[in-house]
Amino acid sequence: LVFSNRCSIMIRALGFNGVNTVTLKNIRRSYSHGPPVTKPMIEDRVMLVLRLYDKVDPNKLSLSSDLAKDFGIDSLDHVELVMAIEEEFNFEIPDMDSEKFRTPGDIIRYICDKYDLYD
C-alpha cells in the first residue's frame, strides 16, 4: 500500500503483465445501506415519484391528497405507483401494506418506519 500526501490511497497489485494501480477514490463504496436518510429526503423522493405519474396533477398534490379521490388513481395505477416507489427506495412493499396507502403522507410514514425514522 502506498499513501500519498493528498489522501489518495493507492493499491498496487501484481498482475499477469506487471503492476496494476487502482485509485480507491474512484471506486464506489458498497455498504449494506447508502448515505443517511432523513424524513425530508424521503418526502422529496416520494413527492417526485408521484409528480411524475401522468394522472397526478403536480399543482394539486399535497401530503394529504387522497390519491383515489383527488386524482382518480385506480387499483392498476396504485400498483404502478407502488412499483415506482419500490424502485426508488430499492425495497419491496408487501401488497397488504401497500393497500393502506391512501395519501402521500401514508407512503412517507411507511418508508420512514422502514428506515427507523420517527417524528
- Indicate which residues carry an active-site annotation: 74
55, 73 in Cβ contact below 8 A?
yes
Short-list 41, 54, 59, 55, CA closest to 117:
41
| CA-to-CA separations, 27 to 9, 14, 23, 24, 45, in angstroms, rounded | 11, 19, 7, 5, 26
Q: Where are the beta strands (DSSP E) in 9-91?
A: 9-15, 18-23
